[in-house]
Each structure stands twice: as C-alpha cells, then as structure tokens.
A = this chain, B = another copy of it.
Amino acid sequence: MSALLRLDAFLPYRLSAASNAVSKVIASAYQRRFELSVPEWRLIAVLREIGESTQQNLVQRTLMDKVAVSRAAERLVQRALVSRSEDENDGRARLLSLTRKGLALYDAIAPEARAYEKQLLAALSKEEIAALHAMLVRVQNAATALEQNARERDDEP
C-alpha cells in the first residue's frame, strides 16, 4: 500500500496556492491604483519591451488566449493607452503599440511592480531566486510536454 497523498505537499496544489496568493494581491493593486486587469498590464509590459507588435505575437509572448489578448487590447485602445493600426504586409493582422499615455502609465506602474516583486522575494537570496525561476520554467516545460503527449494519444486511436 502506498503512503497517503498529502495535498499540501503536492506540487500542483503548492503551485496553484502560491500563484493564487500572489496574483490576488498583485491584481488588486493594479486594479485599485491604475484600473488595469492583469491581462491588460501584461500587454502593456510586453509592448513596452518589444515595441509595435501583432496580437498573435503578443499571444505567444504572454501565453494568453488570443481572445484574452483581443479583449484586453480593445479596452486599452478605448482608453487610448494603445493604438491599433493596419499591418501593411498582412490585411488580417493589426499592429498594436503604446501611445504616449500608455508609456506614461507603464512608467508609473513598473517601479511599483518591481517593489511588489521585491517584497515577495524578500526572504530569498539572489541564488535562490535564480533557482526558483529556472525550476518554474522547467516544470512549466514538463507540463506542456505532457499536454502534447496527451493530445497525440487522443488524436490517434
């Protein structure tokens, strides 16, 4: 007989609990101070990083659903934080980029975001932080690989 499975020592649970706690506090901060949802903030962050970009590109960068990107973009455009223009090379695509106002908002948020992160990681050393990031990436990759397997198994029979 195998030992009991303890939920709070079970990785998927630990991960979800940590992620929930963090995103709850972060999300409510963005909301309260800047009236931004997390998806909206992600678009802003990535647009600041890479400049003009198609939505499809943002989907890959943020791992968000294309619907989520479309809706977040819509709201940001309405608030004039982001401008949307046609892509010369592809009639289907739309190019997003930050407006001056969007840039200003980014400049206001970024330091706060960093401050939050710092507090979250206050108990960890530089090396631990690096290790944590690396492990999260590895676990994430393992998960997507598993999902891939499941999909293939589903497709064949």
Contacts and interface: CB of A to CB of B under 8 A. Distances in A.
B5 A114 contact: yes
Contacts of A117: 10-12
B121 A139 contact: yes
Q: How many copies altogether?
A: 2
A30 to B, nearest CB: 10
A18 B143 contact: yes
B120 A143 contact: yes
A9 interface: yes
Contacts of A150: 25, 28-29
13 contacts: A2-B111, A6-B49, A7-B45, A7-B62, A8-B61, A9-B133, A12-B26, A17-B136, A18-B143, A21-B139, A116-B146, A123-B142, A132-B135
Given A2-B111, A5-B48, 6 more contacts: A2-B114, A5-B114, A7-B62, A10-B117, A22-B140, A121-B142
